[in-house]
């Protein structure tokens, strides 16, 4: 079979047409899960799938699977996908790219009249973002058996609407049963600055960082800023500031892509001339290795207790999320690397700092991801941007990796 | 004249009766300036003044002056006072104590039939707290010529009501002109922990700390906490945390009762998995010496710029309040010290960390203050508490210092 190339313009124009659904004045997209905009997005995707000759099924959590028959049609499919829902003020590429790239691979094969041994599927997972209904990665989590379907269907949004009613409301509560997946590839914008910073086109994703999230309560004593000498204070913000710097130190000290972030901090009473008596803050620790992540947690706990003693405050740490690191399938990762190499694209190994549907899929199928750069590393933002050339390059890598995995017809 | 003693029970019962006006369920007082509760408090005070034979005048900003004639009635009066307004969730003693202690001195003299050479006055200053109308210390500031009357009368609360209309609303816009004051004594709870911590009954107040207040804007760049490696971040909260610790270091390094506080801090976007792009915070620097306070400011500015460079963020510092240190009249301060000594009360020199009406009065008259302990140093709080014995002790010191200053009748 001669080497095929995807049609970068067709991919771009599909992304732009999809981005009109839920378009915001600032150039972003608001296509929150299970809303009318989400339905409209799903229906455009479904129409394109039918036009491409694909067979569409929807499962009980609203995940969509568009299937292209293979020569050995009983073989488990090679799946490509991502999600169509966005953040309330999201961009055009987060999620949409992985679905549209999968569709573009299918269109390219159709145009060439190429057949694959294993069937192919394009998946659009329900509610990856988690901004309306918790948890994030809902559809892929249910598919992978991480979350029990019946329980998830009863989750409610802030208006009290259940997932089940919202699915029925847009007509996307289907009856497809979970099925075996031969391999899963997800193309995605990086949502981080590394590829751009290193002038690299393709990120060969090794896996995803594990995460441990903490809620922290620092309790000291409110006091007048004027009459209270420094040595008699029990300043909760001072302790919180010290802990914030220590979280940064811990992330800088440990190996294996360690990250540490204090993203949320709330001061009480938060008045300019009152020594703060209470601070609520969060800590987000990430690492590629589970054992290193656990060491970071121990170090955080030890440091917090030392600060509490020094500042005469109490510090309570409560772990609220634990998400183990994911390691993608080495053989598939190697296919992504080889495809990039073969296509003459600059590439580098990278670990995903964020979770994607792929981290649940990798629990039930060999999985790999392909990252492409996004401008300034900015995502979850209306100004999210990626270049047509990079998106096309990632899609070509996807095509080659999928063909290699699904197998092509004998000549 | 035999040594007189004030009546501690009468003082306490007046404080408790006054505290019923605006009493909150948690034992505090909500008697915000120029509200119906403030009027009711003023009217109780006025009735008590009339019952004590005092002549009451009200000036154009609502300050109340209750006068007891002296033997040399043309001499400038020796004034005692403080304020009757409270914070929205204030306590029973802040302000009220200084006014009731002045009244108790008068009642004691009346009971003994004692006359003073100079006339005496008890003053109740309008809107010391500044919680409804800015600025704080409004009444004493206008009296001392710090604020122009006409301008202040036009200041509005958050409902758009002017000071003038609020004064008219409670019937307290009077016509007394500012007058010369021979000496001013203000008794007050410490509102800090030093006296309690050192088991001291009387604080001999030397003056008040100068203050420089800053608004600070730290601008970095929002980023995903997961995908953004530590070395590519521009974390505004990390810079703010470092600045918070530096403010504490500066206050610990400089002499002359240096204090430094970050009381307010607001993070944007304040989401647990987003590296913060912006922080707005405040810095409150205080010192007893103007030159040292200025050095602290320079050090703060230098430090902020160093942090901005290190963290690749911008830090804007804007000074929003400058209030020079106040030095009380050495002769009057000595009379307070001598009275405490003479009465066998434990005492120590102290500098007021907060501003009081006395800091404006000291610009137009020799001034001193007397501090008594409050429980845990807590004030501006419904649980504000002080002991009857300490309040009585402070009032006896006030009586002796006032008698010494006003002069007593020759035998």
Whether the pLDDT of residue B301 is over 70: the answer is: yes
Whether the Cβ atoms of residue B324 and residue B179 lie closer than 8 Å to each other: no
Q: What is the dihedral of CA A85, A88, A91, A92, to 10 degrees?
A: 40
- Which chain A residues are closer than 8 Å to B250 by Cβ? none
pLDDT at A277 over 50: yes
Residues in a beta bridge with A53: none
Nearest residue in chain A measured CA to CA from B249 = A230
Q: Note the pLDDT of residue A367.
A: 98
Q: Where in chain A is the domain with CATH 3.40.630.10?
A: 8-208+325-406
Residue B411 reports pLDDT greater than 50: no
What is the number of alpha carbons within 13 Å of residue B181 lying toward its C-beta?
27
Q: With CB atoms and an 8 Å threshold, state whether A273 touches B261.
A: yes
Could you tell me where the DSSP H helices lie in A184-274?
A: 194-197, 236-253
ipTM here: 0.88
* Neighboring chain B residues of A378 at a CB cutoff of 8 Å: 222-223
Is the pLDDT confidence value at A410 over 70? no
Rounded to whole angstroms, the Cα distance separating B308 from B317 reads: 11
β-strand pairing of A259-261 with A278-287: antiparallel
**Model confidence at A1: pLDDT above 70:** no
What confidence score (pLDDT) does residue A411 get?
Answer: 47
Which residues of chain A neighbour B266 with C-beta distances below 8 Å?
270
Q: Do A226 and B354 touch (CB under 8 A)?
A: yes
Q: Under an 8 A CB cutoff, do B226 and A192 touch?
A: yes
pLDDT of residue B378: 87
A262 touches chain B (CB under 8 A): yes
Instruction: Dump pLDDT digits (tens) for A225-249.
Output: 999 999 999 999 999 999 999 999 9
Q: Does domain A210-323 correspond to CATH entry 3.30.70.360?
A: yes
The pLDDT score that the predictor gives to residue A380 is 84
What pLDDT digit, counting tens, does each position of A66-91 carry? 999 999 999 999 999 999 999 998 99
Residues of chain A with CATH 3.30.70.360: 210-323
- Record: contact B353-A222, CB cut-off 8 A: no
- Tell me what percent of chain A is helix, strand and coil, each rounded to the nearest 5: 35, 25, 40
Residue A297, Cα to own-chain centre: how many angstroms?
23
What is the pTM for the complete model shown? 0.88
Compute the nearest-CA separation of B31 from chain A (Å).
Answer: 20
What chain B residue is nearest to A247 in terms of C-alpha separation?
Answer: B238
Is residue B6 within 8 A of residue B403, CB to CB? The reply is no
pLDDT, tens digit, 9 for 90 and up, residues B223-243: 889 999 999 999 999 999 999
Q: Which of residues 353-382 of A touch B (CB under 8 A)?
A: 353-355, 377-381
Q: At what angle do helices A290-311 and A236-253 cross, to 10 degrees?
A: 150
Contact B284 A225 (CB under 8 A): yes
Position A46 scores a pLDDT of 98
**Average pLDDT over every residue of B190-209:** 96
Q: Which residues of A touch B232 (CB under 8 A)?
A: 192-194, 197, 377
Q: Which residue of B has its CA nearest to A192?
A: B227
Predicted pLDDT of residue A29: 96
CATH of A8-208+325-406, one of 3.40.190.10, 3.40.630.10, 3.40.50.410, 3.40.50.150: 3.40.630.10
The B residues from 221 to 250 touching A (CB cutoff 8 Å) are: 222-230, 232, 235, 237-238, 240-242, 244-245, 248
- Residues A340-393 have pLDDT tens digits of 999 999 999 999 999 999 999 999 999 999 999 999 988 888 899 999 999 999
Q: Is the pLDDT of residue B3 over 90?
A: no
Q: Is B335 within 8 Å of B167 (Cβ atoms)?
A: no
- Could you tell me if B296 lies within 8 Å of chain A, comparing CB atoms? no
CB–CB contact A262 B237 (8 Å): yes
CA distance A128 to A61: 12
Q: What is the mean pLDDT of chain A?
A: 96
Give the DSSP H or E segment for B3: none
Intervals of CATH 3.30.70.360 along chain B:
211-322
Please tell me the predicted confidence (pLDDT) of residue B247: 98
CATH class of B211-322: alpha beta
Could you tell me the two tokens for B321? 């309040």
Q: How confident is the model at residue B359 (pLDDT cuts 50, 70, 90)?
A: very high
């Amino acid at each position: 079979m001669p080497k095929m190339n995807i049609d970068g313009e067709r991919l771009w124009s599909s992304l732009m047409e999809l981005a009109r659904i839920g378009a915001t004045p600032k150039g972003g997209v608001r296509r929150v899960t299970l809303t009318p905009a989400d339905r409209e997005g799903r229906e455009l995707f479904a129409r394109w799938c039918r036009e491409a000759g694909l067979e569409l099924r929807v499962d009980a959590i609203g995940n969509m699977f568009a299937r292209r028959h293979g020569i050995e049609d009983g073989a488990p499919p090679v799946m490509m996908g991502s999600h169509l829902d966005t953040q309330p003020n999201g961009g055009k590429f987060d999620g949409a790219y992985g679905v549209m790239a999968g569709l573009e691979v299918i269109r390219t094969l159709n145009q060439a009249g190429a057949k694959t041994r294993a069937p192919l599927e394009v998946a659009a997972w329900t509610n990856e973002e988690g901004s309306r209904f918790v948890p994030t990665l809902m559809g892929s989590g249910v598919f992978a058996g991480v979350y029990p379907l019946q329980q998830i269907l009863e989750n409610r949004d802030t208006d009290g609407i259940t997932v089940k009613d919202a699915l029925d409301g847009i007509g996307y509560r289907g009856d497809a049963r979970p099925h075996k997946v031969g391999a899963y590839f997800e193309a995605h914008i990086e949502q981080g600055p590394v590829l751009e910073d290193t002038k690299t086109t393709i990120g060969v994703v090794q896996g995803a960082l594990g995460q441990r999230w903490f809620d922290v309560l620092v309790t000291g004593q409110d006091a007048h800023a004027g009459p209270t000498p420094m040595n008699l204070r029990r300043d909760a913000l001072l302790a919180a500031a010290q802990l914030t710097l220590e979280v940064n130190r811990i992330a800088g000290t440990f190996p294996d892509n360690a990250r540490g972030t204090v993203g949320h901090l709330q001061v009480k009473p938060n008045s300019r001339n009152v020594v703060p008596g209470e601070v609520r803050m969060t800590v987000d620790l990430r690492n590629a290795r589970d054992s290193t992540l656990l060491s970071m947690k121990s170090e955080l706990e030890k440091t917090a207790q030392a600060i509490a003693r020094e500042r005469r405050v109490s510090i309570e740490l409560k772990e609220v999320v634990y998400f183990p690191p994911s390691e993608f399938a080495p053989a598939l990762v190697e296919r992504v690397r080889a495809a990039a190499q073969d296509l003459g694209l600059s590439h580098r190994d990278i670990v995903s700092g964020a979770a994607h549907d792929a981290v649940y899929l990798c629990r039930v199928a060999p999985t790999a991801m392909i990252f492409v750069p996004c401008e300034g590393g900015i995502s979850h933002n209306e100004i999210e941007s990626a270049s047509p050339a990079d998106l096309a390059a990632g899609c070509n890598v996807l095509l080659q990796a999928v063909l290699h995995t699904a197998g092509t017809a004998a000549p």
